[in-house]
């Protein structure tokens, strides 16, 4: 192709001059600019007519891209063009061989850069112009081209992707270059260049940095920890040099309960718990202060202080959540569970001074592990002759408990010393302050000796305290009876039963009756006097008869008779026995005086729990325990309105194999008067008063 052009800065070399066919030919080299503003260095020949011929040589354009972070607003290309050369610009989703292009919608729809805004500078970044599709002329410096790549941002890890800048598309000087976009925290970060930008050469900052996009996935794994553990350890699987932030919140997975619910007391939240991390596998630990930090080549270990969650209330499983890179595209989280049932792991109290600790927890159950599950100790009643008082502790299978005897109305003179527990085969001595385990059924038998003395003490009690490893406890009471009541405990090969054979009864025997009065001494009669002569004397006239006055008892409460002994069968533990005292037991000389009745044991203690006395009816009622056998000696007390009282005894014998009751005396009050009111007592009492008067008269 030959064109006519203006020679600019021609510097012909006229050393090569030749004559041919009558023409003068000159050969030289010159730099010219043609009408299309193409600049070239060309050889030319000049004949006498001044005509120049070109050999069509044009200097090439080069386009150079760079590596940019997905978080960068722009990707910068450098176009090396010729001075004043006309240029056009075009961006396409295209990649070099073996690379992936932008615009593949991996991170979401419409992430193409084909229509991205383009800005260029021909003065080294001093000023910038938004490209509108019209060819523009290069200057004397490299042309800087800034492509808006914000449409490529997403939170999906895609790795390296490329876009292509084509200069002078479709013409002979077409040239192109690629820029790479990375979402792994690397690459450059430019300013958000636009047409208003000045003095920005487009030089990018270089990552990694917390502000750089890094979509490489992170996983967070928690674990199971005991409420007594100082720390809960999380494992963060991050990427080398990846920046991380940490946050702990009271939150739980679906269907779980979170920490910080104040079940065990106020302010048990872990939202502000101290956090420690290690990027070298536990060799060194750093207290997290909220500043992003870079992961190393190993998994990041994170230790959360969970001591604020400790309490003695059973809550079951609760969870806390560790959030890594909260609010960022790489946000990831995981849960750790806290258990207060003796299970879970026990970590060391890791802090910023800890070294060479990989955070591997020990595993429970163990006496040192927190277990807030409640324990229950049963209440028992035993006869003093039982030999051993045997308690049953109930809880969870394998649960640990600590034991302690607590004196009450029964002192150490009445029980002990020491405790033993059943290990499933034999009785083992208990070491004070130690923990022992319940069996697979969640039971533990514990016993202590009972001192059998011959002093009537009545019901007296002491307690057994069982404490779990969390610090909460329960008390069970043992009440000892020495009046022939209650039961003996019999323990045979792990089976606890009771017996009523050979019960201890320290009730004093009633005093013997007084001896009969000694017979009066015999006195011989005096001999009759000697007979004297009989002299008849006239009888005096009889004096008038005088009235005879008998004194009546005045305002007196009287025991008219003893109450006959009663005998009953214990039955099957559901059969009620009932007995009303005879109506002629008590009497009073004043017919209008109220008489009230009460009953208690001969020792002054209350009646057994299974036997009650109805003072209105004068009736004893009760259901003796199945197989019960024993004799009850009871004081029945009558009291009048003046506070005077009299009493008598009734003996009630309960025999395990008896079938009928036997009574002696008149029919009871209810049968005689067919009434359960105080009025019936008054009616009967009026009759008794008359009988009393006759006895006195």
The domain locations on the chain are 16-55, 62-206, 219-363, 376-499, 557-655
Residue 265 pLDDT: 63
Q: Residue 67 in 3-state DSSP?
A: strand
Task: Choose the weakest-confidence range: 111-115, 124-128, 304-308, 374-378.
Answer: 111-115
- Of the candidates 457, 460, 409, 455, which has an alpha carbon nearest to the alpha carbon of residue 604? 457
Distance CA 319, CA 317 (A): 7
pLDDT value of residue 643: 81
For domain 62-206, the question of CATH label 1.10.20 is answered with no
* Per-residue pLDDT at 1 exceeds 50: no
Host H or E run for residue 463:
strand 460-467
Between 399 and 35, name the one with better pLDDT: 399
Which of 257-266, 429-438, 493-502 shows the lowest mean pLDDT across its residues?
257-266
Contact 211, 329 (CB under 8 A): no
Q: Which of 106, 244, 109, 100 is nearest to 181 (CA)?
A: 100
Q: How far apart, in whole angstroms, are the C-alpha atoms of residue 35 and residue 38?
A: 7
Report domain 557-655's class. mainly beta
Q: Return the minimum-mean-pLDDT range out of 135-144, 292-301, 315-324, 612-621.
A: 612-621
- Other beta carbons within 10 angstroms of residue 550's beta carbon come to 7
Task: Return the pLDDT at 39.
Answer: 52
Helix (H, G, I), strand (E, B) or coil at 460: strand
- Say what the pTM is: 0.63
Residue 679's pLDDT band (cuts 50, 70, 90): very low
Domain 219-363 has CATH 2.60.40: yes
**pLDDT of amino acid 546:** 44
To the nearest whole number, what is the mean pLDDT of the chain?
84
Tabulate helix, strand, coil % of the chain (nearest 5).
5, 40, 55
Mean pLDDT confidence for 534-557: 55
pLDDT in tens, 372-427: 999 999 999 999 999 999 999 999 999 999 999 999 999 999 999 999 999 999 99
Q: Which residue has the higher pLDDT, 228 or 593?
A: 228
What is the three-class DSSP state of 490? strand
Residue 553 has pLDDT above 60, yes or no: no
- Tell me the pairing of strands 67-69 and 175-182: parallel
Residue 215 pLDDT class (50, 70, 90 cuts): very high
Q: Residue 528: pLDDT band by 50, 70, 90 thresholds? A: low
Please give the pLDDT value at position 91. 98
* Residue 509 banded pLDDT, cuts 50, 70, 90: confident
Cα-flanking dihedrals φ and ψ of residue 679, to 5°?
-60, -35
The mean per-residue pLDDT over the stretch 641-659 comes to: 80
Distance CA 694, CA 684 (A): 16
Total count of residues recorded for the chain: 697
CATH homologous superfamily for 376-499? CalX-beta domain (2.60.40.2030)
DSSP 114-156: TT--EEEESSTTSB-EE--S--EE--SSPEEEEEE-GGG--SS
CB count within 10 Å of CB 689 equals 20
- pLDDT of res. 407: 97
Beta partners for residue 614, in sequence order: 619
Q: Residue 634: which of 665, 658, 604 has the closest Cα?
A: 604
Lowest mean pLDDT: which of 215-224, 354-363, 470-479, 590-599?
590-599
Greatest mean pLDDT among 20-29, 348-357, 569-578? 348-357
Tens digits of per-residue pLDDT, 80-96?
Answer: 999 999 999 999 999 99
pLDDT at 22 over 50: no
Higher pLDDT, 579 or 657: 579
| Residue of higher predicted confidence among 656 and 610 | 610
CB atoms inside a 10 Å sphere around CB 375: 24
Cβ contact 356:278 at 8 Å: no
Q: Over pLDDT 90: what percentage of the chain?
A: 63
Report whether pLDDT(7) > 70: no
**Which of the two residues, 616 and 58, has the higher pLDDT score?**
616
- pLDDT attached to residue 40: 56
Of 645, 608, 659, 612, nearest to 630 by C-alpha is 608
Residue 610 has pLDDT above 60, yes or no: yes
pLDDT reported for residue 641: 81
Which of 284-293, 410-419, 489-498, 541-550 comes out lowest in average pLDDT?
Answer: 541-550
Under 8 Å between Cβ of 616 and 582: no
Q: What is the pLDDT of residues 58-69, one digit of tens each?
A: 689 999 999 999
Residue-level pLDDT at 624: 85
Q: What does the pLDDT read at residue 218?
A: 97
pLDDT at 667: 42
Q: Report in angstroms the alpha-carbon separations of 28 from 55, 156, 530.
A: 13, 61, 215
Report the alpha-carbon distance of residue 77 to residue 204 in Å, rounded: 12
What's the pLDDT score for residue 539? 56
* 566-603 tens-digit pLDDT: 888 776 766 778 888 888 888 888 777 788 899 999 88
Mean pLDDT for 310-328 is 95
Q: Which two tokens stand for residue 364?
A: 């429970």
The confidence score (pLDDT) of residue 277 equals 98
Res 640: pLDDT: 86
pLDDT score for 694: 56
> Is the predicted pLDDT of residue 370 greater than 60, yes or no?
yes
Structure confidence at residue 670 (pLDDT): 40
Question: Which residues is 579 bridged to in the sheet?
Answer: 620
Mean pLDDT in residue range 327-341: 95
Question: Do the domains at 62-206 and 376-499 have one common CATH topology?
Answer: yes
Other Cβ atoms closer than 10 A to 635: 15
pLDDT at 626: 79
Please return the burial class of 415, using the count of CB atoms within 10 Å of its CB with bins 0-12, 13-18 and 19+.
buried
- What is the mean predicted confidence (pLDDT) over 281-306? 98
Q: Which of 266-275, 465-474, 514-523 has the lowest mean pLDDT?
A: 514-523
Distance CA 506, CA 462 (A): 19
Helix (H) or strand (E) holding 176: strand 175-182
């Amino acid at each position: 192709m030959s064109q006519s052009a203006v020679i600019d800065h021609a510097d012909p070399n006229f050393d090569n001059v030749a004559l041919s066919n009558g023409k003068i030919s000159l050969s030289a080299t010159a730099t010219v600019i043609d009408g299309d503003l193409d600049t070239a260095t060309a050889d030319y020949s000049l004949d006498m007519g001044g005509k120049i011929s070109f050999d069509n040589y044009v200097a090439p354009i080069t386009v150079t891209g760079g590596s940019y972070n997905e978080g960068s607003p722009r990707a910068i290309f450098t176009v090396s063009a010729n001075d004043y050369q006309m240029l056009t610009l075009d961006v396409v989703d295209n990649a070099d061989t073996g690379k992936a292009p932008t615009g593949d919608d991996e991170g979401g729809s419409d992430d193409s850069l084909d229509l991205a805004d383009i800005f260029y500078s021909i003065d080294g970044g001093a000023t910038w112009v938004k490209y509108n599709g019209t060819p523009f002329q290069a200057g004397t410096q490299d042309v800087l081209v800034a492509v808006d790549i914000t449409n490529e941002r997403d939170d999906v890890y895609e790795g390296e992707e490329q876009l292509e800048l084509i200069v002078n598309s479709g013409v002979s000087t077409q040239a192109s270059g690629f820029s790479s976009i990375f979402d792994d925290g690397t690459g450059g970060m430019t300013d958000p260049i636009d047409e208003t930008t000045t003095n920005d050469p487009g030089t990018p900052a270089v990552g990694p940095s917390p502000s750089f996009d890094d979509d490489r996935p992170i996983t967070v794994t928690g674990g199971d920890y005991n409420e007594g553990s100082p720390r809960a350890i999380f494992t963060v699987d991050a990427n080398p040099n990846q920046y991380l932030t940490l946050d702990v919140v009271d939150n739980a997975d679906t269907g779980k309960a979170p920490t910080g619910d104040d079940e065990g007391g106020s302010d048990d939240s872990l939202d502000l718990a101290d956090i420690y991390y290690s990027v070298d596998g536990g060799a060194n630990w750093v207290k997290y202060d909220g500043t992003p930090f870079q992961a190393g080549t190993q998994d990041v270990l994170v230790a959360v202080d969970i001591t604020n969650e400790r309490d003695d209330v059973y809550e079951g499983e609760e969870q806390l959540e560790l959030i890594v890179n909260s609010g960022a595209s790489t946000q990831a989280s995981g849960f750790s569970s806290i258990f207060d049932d003796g299970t879970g792991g026990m970590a060391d109290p890791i802090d910023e001074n800890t070294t060479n600790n990989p955070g591997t927890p020990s595993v429970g159950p163990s006496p040192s592990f927190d277990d807030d599950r409640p324990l229950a100790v049963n209440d028992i009643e035993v006869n003093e002759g039982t030999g051993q008082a045997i308690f049953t502790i109930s809880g969870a299978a394998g649960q640990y408990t600590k034991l302690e005897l607590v004196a009450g109305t029964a002192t150490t003179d009445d029980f002990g010393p020491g405790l033993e527990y059943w290990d499933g085969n034999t009785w083992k001595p208990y070491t004070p302050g130690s923990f022992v385990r319940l069996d697979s059924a969640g039971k533990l038998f514990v016993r202590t000796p009972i001192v059998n003395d011959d002093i009537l003490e009545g019901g007296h009690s002491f307690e057994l305290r069982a404490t779990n490893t969390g610090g909460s406890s329960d008390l069970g009471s043992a009440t000892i009876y020495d009046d022939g009541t209650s039961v003996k405990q019999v323990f045979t090969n792990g089976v606890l039963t009771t017996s009523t054979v050979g019960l201890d009864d320290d009730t004093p025997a009633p005093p013997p009756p007084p001896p009969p009065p000694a017979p009066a001494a015999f006195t011989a009669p005096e001999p009759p006097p000697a007979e004297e002569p009989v002299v008849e004397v006239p009888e005096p006239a009889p004096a008038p008869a005088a009235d005879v006055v008998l004194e009546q008892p005045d305002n007196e409460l009287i025991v008219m008779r003893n109450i006959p002994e009663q005998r009953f069968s214990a039955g099957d533990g559901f059969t009620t026995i009932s007995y009303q005292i005879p109506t002629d037991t008590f009497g009073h000389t004043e017919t209008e005086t109220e008489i009230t009745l009460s009953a208690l044991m001969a020792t002054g203690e209350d009646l057994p729990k299974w036997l009650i006395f109805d003072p209105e009816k004068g009736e004893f009622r009760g259901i003796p325990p199945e197989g019960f056998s024993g004799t009850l000696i009871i004081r029945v007390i009558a009291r009048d309105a003046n506070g005077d009282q009299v009493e008598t005894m009734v003996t009630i014998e309960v025999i395990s194999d008896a079938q009928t009751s036997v009574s002696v005396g008149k029919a009871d009050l209810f049968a005689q008067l067919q009434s359960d009111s105080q009025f019936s007592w008054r009616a009967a009492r009026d009759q008794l008063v008359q009988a009393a008067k006759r006895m006195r008269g």
